[in-house]
Amino acid sequence: MELLPQYIANGLVIGSFYALSALGLTLILGLMRVVNFAHGELYMVGGVMGWWATTRLGLDFFSGLLLVAVVLGTFGWLIDRFLIERIRDQGEEPGILLTIGLSIFLANTALLLVGTAPLKIESPMAGGPLFLGPIVLTKARLFAVAVSIALMIITYLVIQKTRLGRAMRATFQDPMAAKLVGIRTANIYAGTFAMGTVIASLAGMLLGSIYSTQVSIGGLVSMKAFVVVILGGMGSFAGAIVGGLLLGLAEALWGGYVATGWVDIIGFILVILTLLFRPYGLFVKRAERA
């Protein structure tokens, strides 16, 4: 039991990245109703581009973050305007097939460009470990968690407190009414997909500064993001954050006390339990279910 505080700290660290990456999927799946199976590959592209910007272009970490946000945001906008918009009103199946094809394209393109080797992004917070009582953390981890929390707060403020956020919520509640009051819904859809893409890509770069990033990580990231969204409830901002932290804690405790080789199975167990007892997620209210 003396290792319990360390396991909890590790779980909260990885859970913060799960929460951040799931926020992008929450916007796209919960609000746009687009089942985005390319979410993990967009996360991977953010990590690969962050590595390329900091190692090949020689940019500092923050400049790399900005470059990733601009490039991937533009890419997400183009994906919606030229691909998703064509199948927007045709049901979920065309969107599923389209995003699966996009994920295959992105994964294989990245494979041709950078290969299969893990890519490490240098964190601006190098240094030895920090001892907080029985807990040992690194400056790089604390820095990445702080940036993740800041991005979550910024996303919340944009959605809840800005004119753009009100237009987004109005569009997804009633697209026809939004059009009647002058909201350009096509731009709102594209902007929302771009925002979700930016959040996923920044999560990929941040996690790459702690561990590493590689081309094959996309499928695993997509699976964990879907687990978090199911736990918290589609479209729930708070649900994505709490769901990510719960998954991170569950994996850390499972790996510490049961078996590290089977840590990914805990996500499936949580999904099964959630679907059995709270099929709409932990944070979806009865009125929102209707």
Tell me the C-alpha distance between 189 and 193, whole Å.
6
185-210 and 39-55 helices, crossing angle to 10°:
60
- Give the closest residue to 251 by CA, choosing from 231, 267, 228: 267
At position 69, the amino acid (one-letter code) is: A
Give the distance between the most distant pair of CA atoms in the chain: 61
Percent above pLDDT 90 for the chain: 33
For 62-85, the pLDDT digits (tens) are 999 999 999 999 999 999 999 998
Fold designation for 4-289:
ABC transporter involved in vitamin B12 uptake, BtuC (1.10.3470)
For 199-228, the pLDDT digits (tens) are 999 999 998 888 888 898 988 899 899 989
**In which band, very low, low, confident or very high, does the pLDDT at 1 lie, cut at 50, 70 and 90?**
low
Question: Residue range 237-252: average pLDDT?
Answer: 89
In this prediction, residue 285 carries a pLDDT of 59
Q: Rounded to two decimals, what is the model's pTM?
A: 0.89
In sequence order, the β-bridge partners of residue 131 are: 136
For 4-52, the pLDDT digits (tens) are 888 899 899 889 989 988 888 888 886 777 888 999 999 999 999 999 9
Cα-based angle 220, 48, 35 (whole degrees, multiple of 5): 45
- Give the closest residue to 231 by CA, choosing from 199, 172, 272: 272
Ordered by start, the domain boundaries in the chain are: 4-289
* Highest mean pLDDT: which range of 40-49, 152-161, 249-258, 274-283: 40-49
Q: How far is CA 30 from the centre of its chain?
A: 13
- Give the closest residue to 125 by CA, choosing from 40, 243, 237, 209: 209
Q: Check residue 283 and report its DSSP letter.
A: S
**In which band, very low, low, confident or very high, does the pLDDT at 287 lie, cut at 50, 70 and 90?**
very low
**In which band, very low, low, confident or very high, does the pLDDT at 127 lie, cut at 50, 70 and 90?**
low
Tell me the C-alpha distance between 190 and 200, whole Å.
15
Question: Is residue 288's pLDDT more than 60?
Answer: no
Q: What is the dihedral of CA 58, 64, 66, 68, to 10 degrees?
A: 120
Question: Is residue 157's pLDDT more than 60?
Answer: yes
In this prediction, residue 290 carries a pLDDT of 44
Which 3-state string (H, E, C) describes 90-130?
A: CCHHHHHHHHHHHHHHHHHHHHHHHCCCCECCCCCCCCCEE
- Give the closest residue to 28 by CA, choosing from 156, 188, 139: 188
In this prediction, residue 37 carries a pLDDT of 92
At position 82, the amino acid (one-letter code) is: F
